[in-house]
Amino acid sequence: MNTLLLAAIMLGGYVIAYFTYGRFLGKKIFKLAADNVCPSHELADNIDFVPTNKHILFGHHFTSIAGLGPIVGPAVAVIWGWVPAVLWVLFGSIFIGAVHDFGALVVSLRHQGRSIGDLSADIINHRVRTLFLLIIFFLLLLVISVFALVIAILFTMYPQAVIPVWIEVPIAVWLGYMVYKKKGNHVILSIVAVVFMYIFVVIGAYVPVDLKIFGLSDSHVLIVWMLILFAYAYIASTLPVQTLLQPRDYINSHQLFIALTLLVGGVLLSRPEIVAPAFDASPKGAPPVWPFLFVIIACGAVSGFHSLVSSGTSSKQCYSEKDARFIGFGSMLMEGSLSTLVIIAVIGGIGLGLKSGTGEILTGTAAFTYHYASWTAVTGLGAKIGAFVTGASNMIAACGIPENITITIMGVFIVSFAATTLDTATRLQRYIIGELATAYKMPFLAGRHPATILAVLSAFGLAFYNGSGKGALILWPLFGTVNQLLGAMALLVITIYLSKQKIAIRYTVVPMIFMITMTGWAMLLNLTAYLNDQNWLLSAIGTIVFILEIWMIIEAAIFLQSHRTIS
């Protein structure tokens, strides 16, 4: 099958879904109403609650939910064959992920912009809120710690990206100032900002920044970058959202469209054939495709982290409830589109040419087989990112762009999205700490700066408890299943909200049951593996989280059984 036909089918499916299923959900299920007052107006503080143009907010929301997830997940999961990957990305995005993101945004909009965890106290009970917020705190703790490390590693992998990524900060501050203070046209100004940024992309391609020139070892380079990134995360998450976070994400959304345009152009011009197998039920060393496909591909189909963005930052900035479909449902389908192009890059683009360890240039099926020789070979960060960058660069080369510029563009794209995840997660953690502090009457921790200090210091402590900056990697194997179970819990809260409003719940309860089943199954298999390996730390923490999840499900099931009125 040709990748061009696959791209057309997938992207066409997303467009149809937005204008049919998305419209149905907005009108009949969530019943969006323009006259409902949004928290951005009701609680406007010019820091977190800021009424925002829907196109700017789309940029923030999309770049926050995307991160590296829609790249690394699909780049690994194709080891089981391209058909399972594309089916999950297509149908998972439309019927589970977009419903999850859209629903979390709407429910938060109608509860003063509170997080999905905090508002569960009103929808279910206070015990569920505590359990939910503790799980969210653990998840965000891992994200902040690990993404600081990941970005540091990416800076060493792509030193060409250092200058353009950091120059984006003052450009974003300028853009925010011009839009909000000078009331300039956000479209024109954002185009100017992106042009300036891409000037520095070209500069970065020829002026890479490698801290080892100062005599630092590889480990010391990572530590220096991580310290800088933790400081940046603190500053970015305490500044008013329209000063840095929002305009920088808006610039990143333009980056996305440029990258997508280049990828689509590459597919149109190079038309690579699919060189991956359609199905491979037992690749060497890989876990079973059922249920792990639904954990490995998270952000490209459904991810619990998205509910935190929808109900954390985006609900506080949404100008009108009518914008929720474009922001929540539309962003998830856009992420599915990105994952689709990632899959095409690694199942087709990689076949256009891959350099082996011996320097030999492999093409066609031999290139894919070489890279995807075993599970171990594809699960490292370099392998995940490398497959995409190689395949994408091969396709984009057909557009006539020099290879070093293409690699820099993709490197900046990847690092920028990872950085968005870092500072958005830090801001979300600040909200979670504030909500916990308020619930337990500790107002001294609820303030913007105390909560952010605790968010950053706890992540710093986890990262550096062993002195290497890699401390969080010990717990990272838990992230996938915890993240997906969080998605199931968010769907559960949305389901109960709809039930209390006497609205049909089938559109959320079916995805909820599917996610609970698949990810609960995956977590049990993981816990069994941890016990067999005598990994007592992962076994203990994983068991605790799993028990908390089961407790929440039982609490919610009892409530739903006694209050449900419409099936």
Q: Quick one: CA dihedral 336, 151, 158, 64, positive or negative?
A: positive
Closest by alpha carbon to 342, among 100, 66, 14?
A: 66
What are residue 315's phi and psi, to 5 degrees?
Answer: -65, -25
Instruction: Give, in order, the Cα–Cα distances in Å from 251 to each of 91, 136, 194, 334, 417.
Output: 29, 28, 6, 16, 11
At CA 428, angle to CA 224 and CA 432, rounded to 5?
120
Token pair listed for 293:
């496909």
Residue 240: its H or E element: none
Amino acid at 204: G
Amino acid at 559: F
The reply to whether the predicted model has a pTM over 0.75 is yes
| Predicted local confidence at residue 519, as pLDDT | 93
**CB contact burial 290-318 (16+ within 10 A = b; e otherwise):** ebbbbbbbbbbbbbbbbbbbbbbbbbbbb
Please name each of the domains of the chain with its CATH number. 3-563 (1.20.1740.10)
Amino acid at 246: Q
Intervals of the chain under pLDDT 70: 1, 563-567
| Predicted local confidence at residue 392, as pLDDT | 93
| Predicted local confidence at residue 2, as pLDDT | 83
Token pair listed for 482:
């915890």
Instruction: Give, in order, the Cα–Cα distances in Å from 549 to each of 63, 152, 304, 467, 486.
Output: 28, 33, 13, 32, 8
| Predicted local confidence at residue 565, as pLDDT | 47
Instruction: Give, in order, the Cα–Cα distances in Å from 158 to each of 67, 108, 165, 210.
Output: 17, 38, 11, 9
The whole-angstrom separation of Cα 461 and Cα 473 is: 13
Q: Quick one: CA dihedral 480, 483, 488, 489, positive or negative?
A: positive
Residue with tokens 């040419």: 353
| Predicted local confidence at residue 126, as pLDDT | 86
Within 10 A of 488 (CB to CB), how many other CB atoms are there?
25
Instruction: Give, in order, the Cα–Cα distances in Å from 217 to each of 8, 228, 487.
Output: 47, 17, 40
Contacts of 247 (CB under 8 A, 6+ apart): 56, 172, 173, 175, 176, 179, 190, 193
Residue 203: its H or E element: helix 186-206
530 exposure class (CB count in 10 Å sphere: 0-12, 13-18, 19+): buried
195 exposure class (CB count in 10 Å sphere: 0-12, 13-18, 19+): exposed
| Predicted local confidence at residue 23, as pLDDT | 98
| Predicted local confidence at residue 564, as pLDDT | 55
What are residue 517's phi and psi, to 5 degrees?
Answer: -65, -50
Residue 544: its H or E element: helix 536-563
Token pair listed for 134:
């503790």
556 exposure class (CB count in 10 Å sphere: 0-12, 13-18, 19+): buried
**Cβ 418 vs Cβ 226: under 8 Å:** no
